[in-house]
Structures are given as structure tokens and as C-alpha cells.
Amino acid sequence: MPSTPRTWPLLAVLVVLAVPGGDAERDAALKTITAKECAVRVETLAGPEMQGRGTPSAGLEKAARYVEEELAACGLEPAGPEGSYRLPYQLYCAVADPQGKAQWTDAAGAVQALELGTDFVPVPGSRPGAVRGVPVFAGYAIDASKEEWRDFASGKARGKLVFAFTREPRADDPKLKRFDGAEPTEASTFASKLRAVAEAGGIGLVLVPDPALDLDPGATVPDLVPLPLPRNFSAARLGQLAGWPDVPVISMSRRAAEAIFATDLGKHHADLDKRLRPKLLQAPEGVVVEYDAGLVEQEVPYFNLAARIRGSSGSGAVLILGAHLDHVGWNHGDDAGRMRIHPGADDNASGSAVLLEVAQACAALPPPQDDVLFLWFTGEERGLLGSRAYCEEPLYPHTQALAMLNMDMVARNDPRLLNVGGLWDRPEWARFLRKQARAIRSDLELDFDQGRDLYQRSDHFAFHEHNVPALFFFEGDLNKNEVYHRPGDVAETVDPGKMERIGRLFAATAYALMWEGERP
């Protein structure tokens, strides 16, 4: 049956749509980048399991595994050695001195060894040094008359080795009139506790994680070590910089402390918080605790994540797309030991999530002309450690890199605002980006003027230092982001629509460059 003339135009349209390449191919790929999937990915990466993705940490390890699984699922080629997505690099860190030891003598006179790394860990900031004494458990080690809480009022901590919970009474209770409700007070910092111990005449401080944190009872304060350091820094200088009183501090697991005090510390903690009255616990007669724990510098093997799509030309040219996967974790340094997880939903679960969406969209396309490399960096929050390490040993010579496009914080601020940094001296790139935005009818408002002061502060800058054109995709005006590096940077309040818009422009730019061979 010949077609009737009426159906011919319809067939013609279908034929046009079926032609590979061009706008239709690009637009179909862009459509797979959705607000919904961005939101799910941010929820995952900023979820409680990931514990704020500090470098290095068990939480960041989980985040890395999630990214690896997603990359494998969309069939992207691992760019690391031996079929791995992990590109190794060395993290220069303060780690627990392996000579460190702790033990206690029980009431019967038997010596019980404690295991470094599991039962106890050193606390960065502490002075090193051996200490030996009779232990007392002094609640939260808080001496704050303003809060009507004085763990040392009895004077019985003098000459003793003080154990205490981290944080403060009912730390998560917004209704509590004392201790600023759910906001941590100054009294809850490691430094304040240590000063209180020193003033009370204590000879050591053993920090036991607040049971209200619901950590494994076998866990010490998490993520204290290894602690990445600047290359020209030493572990000893950490202590000098902290300026804490000369009282050695370690963290011990609740389980180990319970053995020493022969009591249920979970119950003791519940009593303290219920009665809201300090109470000093003595260990059984004859119990003595001793420890000597410090830090040393060491290279710790770590990794960035890398996946690639091979181009058909084999020219060796590459486009690099990146985002940092890490955040500040528990932020013990800046948040002074108050032990709150910083989920880093916007910074930078958002960029990592959108990069996964972009990678997935690109993976479904036919091969590009030249290679596309996707990098998820670690150590960014510690000073661009992962990206700088990559740039020292790049997979492609820097002269072969067409550009590096980085997304860092793309999910807050004005829903339609996109700031792209690095274009001040690159008007041709500015025009190129505007052209891509028009081509996909993006309703993003592009701002290429602001953010000069931020340009050195994310991973693209490591590439800029090697003369690679480096573009910084950013939500715009950091001053409007009230949760920047705060525990409030949670997944519930990011803007998935903004991520979709930015992801689509990011991918469209990659498509124009690598699939269509356009150049700025």
C-alpha cells in the first residue's frame, strides 16, 4: 500500500529525528539529566552514612563506592590502573604514632592493654607525653557556672586522670533552656574541656564520644586521624598552633572506658541528661590508667576517582570535567570538637551528583571525537590536595587538555543564576558558553563577572596553574549562602531544578566541544 500524501510529512519528520548527531542527539542526552535524579544523588552523598565525607574517612570511602557503582552501571571506562576508577595519590598526614600505647591496671592488679586505633587514638592539638593516674569520670568536663553545670565542683579531679563525654548535656535538645538548646556552646569544645580539666588540677583528659551520637560503642571520636597536613607542616606544630594547656588528651571508645569504670556508661550518660545534674564517677579501688600517645607525619595512600570516554580520533586531546567529592566531615578543627556532621549537600554533593548525571548522559551517546575525562577529587577542602596531586601526574599532558570544567556548589542561591569563573581574560569562552545556553534554550542567567576572589578556592585552579583553560561553575555570591561549611548544608534545602539547569548547560558545552568539534 502506497502511503497517502497526508502521511508523507509525518514520515519526513521521523526520518529527520532518526538522523544521528546534531541537536536531537544532544537534546535527548540532556533530557536524561533531571532534577529528580540530581536530588536523589545529593540525598545519597549528603546522607548520614557518608558522615560529611571528610578526607580521609569511612564516610568518604562509602561515597567513593557509590560513585564507582554508578560509573560501572553506565559502562564508563575506569581511568585508573588495573581497571580501577581509583587514581592513587599520597596524602601527607598526621597519623597516630605507632609507638603510642595505653593500658590500665584492674582492681586485681592485672594489666589490660588497649589497642591503638580501635580502643584509643591521639587527639590532634594535644601535647604529647606520658601520663599515669587514678581515673575519674567527670561527666562532660564542663565547668560553666553560666550554664549551672560544674563537673569539677567537688575538687575530686585534682591529680586524677579525667574521663569525660564529648559535647554537652542534651546537646540535641532544642527545648533545653541551658546550653543554648540544640546549638553547641563554647563549653562543649575540646579546648574548653581541656582548660576546665587543667584548672581542676586534672593530669590527663580522655574523651569518650557522647552516647547520644549513636556511634558504635566500640568507636573513638571519629576521623581525628589521619589528618592531612600542608606539605611544609609538622604534626608537632599542630599542638603549638592549638595552644592547649599542657595536659595530654586522647579519645577512647565507650566500650574500653566501660571496662575501666566497670559500669554501664550509656546508662550513666542517660542519668546525667535526665537529671541535668553533674555527677563524678570513681573507678573501682586500685584501678590505674596510663597512656602515651602522639602524632607523626606519614604519607597515606589515597585516591581521586577517574572515568573516561574514548574519542574516535585518537588524537590524544581531552576535555576534563570535574567536581570534588569530599567535604569537611565532623570538622573537628573549625568546629572545635563539637562533633556535628557537616553533610556538605551543596558543597559539593551537588557538583558530584550533577557530574554523575552528566557522565551518565555522555556515556549513552556515540563516541566523541576526542577523549572526555571525568574526575571526582578528594582532599579539596584540605587545600585542593586531590586536584593538585592529579596535576602533578596527569593522565594526559596538560598541553593536550582543551579545558577543565569544574562544578563546585551548584545548588543554592538564585534558582536561575550561574556564575562561571575564569572567563575574565577569555571572552571567546564567554561567547561560547552563551552560545551553548542559547542553543539549548537554557533559562539560566549567566554571570561571568563575579567570583574573582573565589577562583583560587576550588579544583579547577590546580589546572589553571598548569595553563589549562579552567572554568569554575558556581551558584553565585557565596555571601548569600548562610550554610556554607555549616552543619545546615543539608540535602533537604538544595535546589534540584538549579542542578538540572546547570548540568544541562555543562553537558551541552561538553557535547559542542567533543562531539561536534566546535571550538571557542
User: What does the binding site for Zn ion look like in residue numbers (CB under 5 A)?
Assistant: 347-348, 408
* Alpha-carbon gap, residue 114 to 104, rounded angstroms: 8
Q: How far is the CB of 133 from Zn ion (least distance, A)?
A: 44
Contact call for residues 345 and 495 (beta carbons, < 8 A):
no
The smaller minimum CB distance to Zn ion, of residues 204 and 386, is found at 386
Contact call for residues 239 and 120 (beta carbons, < 8 A):
no
Q: How far is the CB of 427 from Zn ion (least distance, A)?
A: 27
The smaller minimum CB distance to Zn ion, of residues 121 and 470, is found at 470
With H, G, I as helix, E, B as strand and everything else as coil, classify residue 309. strand
Q: How far is the CB of 351 from Zn ion (least distance, A)?
A: 7
The smaller minimum CB distance to Zn ion, of residues 323 and 363, is found at 323
The smaller minimum CB distance to Zn ion, of residues 371 and 380, is found at 380
The HSE-up count of residue 382 (CA atoms within 13 Å, CB side) is 27
Contact call for residues 67 and 376 (beta carbons, < 8 A):
yes
- The closest of 424, 502, 438, 511 to 469, measured between CA atoms, is 424
* Alpha-carbon gap, residue 203 to 248, rounded angstroms: 8
The smaller minimum CB distance to Zn ion, of residues 253 and 348, is found at 348
Q: How far is the CB of 409 from Zn ion (least distance, A)?
A: 6
Expressed in angstroms, the distance from the first to the final Cα of the chain is 50
The smaller minimum CB distance to Zn ion, of residues 205 and 410, is found at 410
Amino acid type, 451: G
| Set of cell numbers at residue 400 | 593536550
The smaller minimum CB distance to Zn ion, of residues 347 and 495, is found at 347
The smaller minimum CB distance to Zn ion, of residues 92 and 484, is found at 484
Cβ atoms within 10 Å of 2's Cβ, excluding its own: 5
The smaller minimum CB distance to Zn ion, of residues 323 and 423, is found at 323
Phi and psi at residue 110, to the nearest 5°: -85, 135
With H, G, I as helix, E, B as strand and everything else as coil, classify residue 338. coil
Cβ atoms within 10 Å of 361's Cβ, excluding its own: 24
CB neighbour list of residue 441: distance below 8 Å, 6 or more residues apart: none
Instruction: Tell me: cis bond preceding 211? Omega within 30 of 0 counts.
Output: no
Report in angstroms the alpha-carbon separations of 78 from 67, 73, 83, 309. 12, 12, 6, 9
Backbone region of residue 323 per phi and psi (left: phi > 0; alpha: psi in -120 to 50; beta: other values): beta
Q: How far is the CB of 509 from Zn ion (least distance, A)?
A: 20
Q: How far is the CB of 47 from Zn ion (least distance, A)?
A: 18
| Set of cell numbers at residue 270 | 542517660
Contact call for residues 377 and 464 (beta carbons, < 8 A):
no
For residue 51, the 8-state DSSP code is: T
The smaller minimum CB distance to Zn ion, of residues 442 and 481, is found at 481
Which long-range CB contacts under 8 A does 422-425 form with residues at least 24 apart? 422/455, 422/460, 422/464, 422/469, 422/470, 422/471, 422/472, 423/448, 423/471, 424/448, 424/449, 424/452
The smaller minimum CB distance to Zn ion, of residues 173 and 455, is found at 455
